Amino acid sequence: MTYIVEKETLPGNATSRQFEGYLHNGANVSFFLSSTPPGRGPGLHIHPYEEVFVVQAGTLTFTVGEETIEVSAERVVVVPPGTPHKFTNTGADIAHHVDIHVSGQMQTTWLEE
């Protein structure tokens, strides 16, 4: 059965909306729809599953394990399970991206505040 969700009904705000599959007909995926302002991004964290970032516009600088990677629009970043990671919008404009959690429920362990 097709299940449709209006973006505005998802928890969050103008910069990030959160979809967790277990709350939506048991879908086995979760994600953030993100519009990250310059200089912003989450702190270092891990998940017990892959996280896939689809960068649609802007520039994000990722720390993935010991590696630092600058990623611009139309790129995809795949972070392996259990790998510490974070990102910051290092561009001049808002960065638009979808952050896919390969799980029906998000599980995050924060490594820095």
Query: In this predicted structure, what is the pLDDT of residue 16?
Result: 97
Distance in angstroms (rounded) separating the CA atoms of residues 29 and 31:
7
Query: In this predicted structure, what is the pLDDT of residue 101?
Result: 98
CATH number of 15-110: 2.60.120.10
How do the domains of the chain map onto residue ranges? 15-110
pLDDT tens, N- to C-terminus, the chain (113 residues): 788 999 999 999 999 999 999 999 999 999 999 999 999 999 999 999 999 999 999 999 999 999 999 999 999 999 999 999 999 999 999 999 999 999 999 999 999 86
**What torsion do the CA atoms of 111, 31, 11, 16 make, to the nearest 10 degrees?**
70
